[in-house]
Amino acid sequence: MRLDLLLIRRHPSMSRRKARDVIEKGQVSVDGRTVREPGGEVAESAAVAFDPNRRALPRARCTLAVLHEDEHVIVVDNPAGMLTVPSAPGVHDEDTALRRVQDYAHRLKPRGGYAERVHRLDRDTSGALAFALSREARAGLIETFRHHRIERAYLAIVEGEPAGESGQVDAPLREAWVSGRRGVAKPGEEQQPARTHWRVRERLPGAALLEVRLETGRQHQIRVHLAHVGLPILGDPVYGRPVHGRPLARRPMLHAFRLAFAHPVTGERIAAESPPPEDFQRALAALRRRPPG
């Protein structure tokens, strides 16, 4: 359940506002770890301790919605259109997810704030994105991602009708980019192995909502693989179908809804989920209203 609600259960005289306040001040620990996200999910059996005498930590809020946070790791809800990192080395004036998390980390710890990226999302993909808040955590998370010991699940609205209820695309991607595109490698081309699993969540007129899970994590992998099997992502200007008339979506309808992995320091399981954003929900609603055939 939510941490603030569990704290109130343990301290019935505490108001909801007071619970949120003391959690954000860093005066509450869960199983010995300081947790500062009132809405964070915790087990009802967790050891939750409130110490009013603990020195309050600086009050700061991240400008991105926080899905999980502890002293080593933060998972944020990254909006579509925001770069994960600067577009080129040495560029410092772009609004990126990394910059926002770094600003937040420095407000939390003015003398020792640290935040670095460990993976990325394509600019037009929304959803769960993790950053390390300590050097120790970054080293562990990089290893976790490198060896694919992570659960990454996406929602994708695709054009076309899947032949079955689930499937796998096992097709290496070429190393080279051609006119800003990746593609499935041809014999003799330099390539990277890539595997994508999908299953149908909902069938729609001329389209479908898929749940997609990555076994490998190559840039543009989902977009290339789904287009390769005749199920291009709705709104994808690079790998999708030509649009005639008013578009249902103005960016690829791909959303990273779940990110789960072992904590790089404690080993505890972290699972963060991001609800689909408004544009994704609007596209789904429009497809549900579309007449069949």
pLDDT given at position 58:
66
CA distances from 220 to 122, 185, 196, 205, 233 (A): 7, 13, 11, 26, 11
Q: Which residue is catalytic, options 77, 122, 124, 236? A: 122
One-letter amino acid for residue 126 of the chain:
S
Query: 15 φ, ψ to 5°?
Result: -80, 165
pLDDT given at position 59:
67
SS3 of the chain? CEHHHHHHHHCCCCCHHHHHHHHHCCCEEECCEECCCCCCECCCCCCEEECCCCCCCCCCCCCCEEEEECCCEEEEEECCCCECCCCCCCCCCCCEHHHHHHHHHHHHCCCCCCCEECCCCCCCCEEEEEEECCHHHHHHHHHHHHCCCCEEEEEEEEECCCCCCEEEEECCEECCCECCECCECCCCCCEECCEEEEEEEEEECCEEEEEEEECCCCCCHHHHHHHHCCCCECCCCCCCCCCCCCCCCCCCCEEEEEEEEECCCCCCEEEEECCCCHHHHHHHHHHHHCCCC
> In this structure, is the dihedral angle defined by the CA atoms of residues 140, 101, 26 and 7, taken in order, positive or negative?
negative
Please name every residue paired with 196 in a beta bridge, in sequence order, or none if there are none: 169, 214
- Residue written as token pair 């420095």: 106
pLDDT given at position 113:
85
91-129: string of b/e by CB count within 10 Å (b at 16+)?
eeeeebbbbbbbebbeebeeeebbbbbbbbbbebbbbbb
pLDDT averages per 10-residue partition of the chain, 293 residues: 91 90 88 81 90 81 89 94 87 88 86 90 96 95 92 97 96 92 92 96 97 92 97 96 86 97 93 95 95 81
Q: Is 122 a catalytic residue?
A: yes
Please name every residue paired with 154 in a beta bridge, in sequence order, or none if there are none: 212, 256
Provide the 10 A C-beta neighbour count for residue 143.
12
154-181: string of b/e by CB count within 10 Å (b at 16+)?
bbbbbbbebeeeebebebbbbeeeeeee
pLDDT given at position 91:
76
